[in-house]
Amino acid sequence: MFLAQLVRPAVIRRAFYSTQPEALAGLSTGEKHIYQKLSEALSPHKLHVTDVSGGCGSMYAIDIATTKFQGVSIVKQHRMVNEILKEEIKGMHGLQLKTTAK
């Protein structure tokens, strides 16, 4: 059997920022929670939340763009997100962040 047949790709779900309720359809509870918390705090014009742990909720990838990051260094942008998600981060093994004002 070939290696490609043995390895199953991870299921990837993403939340794209939208004012429509359908934006959260099909997401895990953890993805929805993070998506809603960041949406309320930062009013982003782009937001992607993905559970990259294979579905167990121990690691997330977040891509967020908001005007609230305008003129703020990348380190401070990440600190802002970390502060918003500080309770959730306590239960995670890792967090991948991509932040921008554009």
Condensed to tens digits (0 to 9), the pLDDT of residues 54-86 reads 889 999 999 999 999 999 999 999 999 999 999
What average pLDDT does this structure show over 3-7?
43
* Average pLDDT across the chain, whole number: 84
pLDDT bracket for residue 26 (50, 70, 90): confident
What average pLDDT does this structure show over 13-26?
58
Q: Is residue 15 part of a domain?
A: no
pTM beyond 0.85: the answer is no
pLDDT bracket for residue 21 (50, 70, 90): low
- CATH code where residue 80 lies: 3.30.300.90
Count up the domains in the chain and report the number: 1
Structural domain harbouring 64: 28-101
CB neighbour class for 75 (10 Å; exposed up to 12, middle 13-18, buried from 19): exposed
Residue 89 makes CB contacts below 8 A (sequence gap 6+) with: 82, 95
Q: Is residue 79 part of a domain?
A: yes
Structure token pair of residue 60: 């997330």
Q: Is residue 19 part of a domain?
A: no
Q: Is residue 58 part of a domain?
A: yes
Per-residue pLDDT at 93 exceeds 70: yes
Q: Is residue 76 part of a domain?
A: yes
